[in-house]
């Protein structure tokens, strides 16, 4: 499905069109009962105007409800998604999700308020729900290829800082698997050999090849992986060719992490002026998600996201509690 924001707004003129669009995206046109997993024999409960729910602004919204012939339960394409039970129009959800999936730097709450006539509270809530769906799944496989690891400090820009450059800044660690293109970021309480070791062994398999800069904190944990290659930024070395155990040439360096950080910081400076530490984690999840899925089309990324809640793909098992 080829689309951009303009064609999407033209196509999705109202809530009903938004439902149909989501049904196509999630079900490819064939409704799937989230209660029992049946894909057959559903019937559509025609929405009557009288059934429509009134939104805060008084507009009547339409729900496209299906009824499962197997288990007799009702469902819609929103059942079990981040949009379940929302009072915000589905058209708005679709457009905001698209914006967050496709914009390189994310979207600011204020833009959403203005563009869709939402209260600050509603706009903020939507963004949090969407970020929650972008959270990393907690049972992901270990990163096992060539993995770059690097840290950066996020926080208010300080003028005339003479003494402690890192005061009021929060360290962020990012791992990027070069093979799969996947990024995994997290806040660190402090950057020490111990915290680095804990973070890396939690995400990386022993057979992985670790790429870092000259930070000595990586020395001990680096030895636990198949290979560890470093570049020395202090002598302005950013990449060099090394030989692996298998005699293959590899490129040592952390350029991908640096690219990731520069985009992250550019976005924090431009769009987001104040990001508290508690929200930074979700914000990192949003960045990781966009980075890790950057080879997908906007439609693929959106379909994937809509089917996730709190960093978990919605599976039939999860929904039915099996």
Give me the least distance between CB of 39 and Zn ion, in Å please. Answer: 10
Give me the least distance between CB of 317 and Zn ion, in Å please. Answer: 14
Q: Burial, 20: exposed, middle or buried (Cβ in 10 Å; 0-12, 13-18, 19+)?
A: middle
Would you call 218 helix, strand, or coil by DSSP? helix
Give the largest Cα separation in the chain, rounded: 72
Sign of CA dihedral 52, 53, 58, 62: negative
Identify which of residues 19 and 66 has a Cβ nearer to Zn ion in the complex. Answer: 66
Identify which of residues 68 and 275 has a Cβ nearer to Zn ion in the complex. Answer: 68
Give me the least distance between CB of 38 and Zn ion, in Å please. Answer: 5
User: What is the four-CA torsion angle of 22, 27, 30, 35, rounded to 10 degrees?
Assistant: -100
Identify which of residues 36 and 187 has a Cβ nearer to Zn ion in the complex. Answer: 36
Identify which of residues 274 and 322 has a Cβ nearer to Zn ion in the complex. Answer: 322
145's tokens: 């290829």
Give me the least distance between CB of 84 and Zn ion, in Å please. Answer: 16
Give 204's DSSP letter.
B
E strands, the chain, are 42-45, 53-54, 60-61, 65-68, 74-75, 146-154, 170-177, 183-187, 209-212, 227-230, 240-243, 249-252, 308-309, 312-313
75's tokens: 């469902």
Identify which of residues 73 and 312 has a Cβ nearer to Zn ion in the complex. Answer: 73
Give me the least distance between CB of 85 and Zn ion, in Å please. Answer: 19
Identify which of residues 35 and 312 has a Cβ nearer to Zn ion in the complex. Answer: 35
> Which residues in this chain contact Zn ion in the complex, by CB under 5 A?
33, 35-36, 38, 68, 70-71
Give me the least distance between CB of 83 and Zn ion, in Å please. Answer: 20
Would you call 216 helix, strand, or coil by DSSP? helix
Give me the least distance between CB of 129 and Zn ion, in Å please. Answer: 25
Radius of gyration from C-alpha coordinates of the chain: 23
Identify which of residues 36 and 65 has a Cβ nearer to Zn ion in the complex. Answer: 36
Measured between alpha carbons, how far is 157 from 270 in angstroms, rounded to an integer? 12
Identify which of residues 31 and 186 has a Cβ nearer to Zn ion in the complex. Answer: 31
Give me the least distance between CB of 68 and Zn ion, in Å please. Answer: 3
Tell which phi-psi region holds residue 173, choosing left (phi > 0), alpha (psi between -120 and 50) or beta: beta
Contact 102, 296 (CB under 8 A): no
């Amino acid at each position: 499905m080829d689309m951009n924001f303009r064609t999407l707004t033209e196509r999705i003129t109202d809530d009903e069109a938004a439902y149909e669009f989501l049904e196509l995206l999630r079900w490819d046109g064939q409704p799937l009962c989230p209660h029992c997993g049946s894909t057959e024999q559903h019937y559509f409960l025609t929405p009557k105007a009288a059934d429509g729910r009134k939104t805060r602004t008084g507009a009547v919204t339409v729900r496209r409800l299906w009824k499962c012939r197997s288990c007799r339960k009702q469902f819609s394409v929103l059942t079990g998604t981040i949009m379940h039970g929302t009072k915000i129009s589905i058209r708005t959800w679709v457009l905001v999700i698209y914006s967050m999936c496709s914009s390189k730097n994310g979207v600011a709450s204020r833009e959403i308020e203005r563009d869709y006539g939402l209260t600050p509270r509603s706009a903020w809530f939507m963004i949090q729900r969407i970020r929650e769906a972008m959270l990393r799944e907690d049972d992901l496989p270990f990163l096992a290829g060539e993995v770059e690891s690097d840290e950066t400090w996020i926080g208010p820009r300080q003028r005339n800082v003479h003494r402690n450059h890192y005061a009021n800044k929060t360290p962020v660690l990012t791992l990027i698997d070069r093979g799969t293109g996947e990024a995994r970021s997290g806040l660190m309480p402090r950057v020490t050999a111990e915290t680095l070791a804990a973070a890396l062994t939690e995400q990386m398999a022993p057979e992985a090849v670790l790429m870092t800069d000259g930070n000595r904190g990586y020395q001990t944990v680096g030895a636990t992986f198949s290979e560890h290659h470093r570049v020395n930024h202090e002598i302005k070395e950013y990449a060099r060719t090394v030989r692996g155990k298998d005699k293959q040439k590899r490129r040592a360096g952390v350029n991908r992490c640096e690219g990731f950080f520069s985009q992250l910081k550019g976005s924090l400076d431009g769009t987001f002026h104040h990001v508290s530490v508690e929200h930074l984690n979700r914000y990192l999840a949003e960045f990781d998600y966009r980075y890790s899925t950057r080879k997908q089309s906007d439609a693929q990324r959106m379909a994937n996201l809509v089917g996730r809640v709190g960093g978990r793909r919605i599976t039939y098992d999860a929904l039915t509690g099996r």
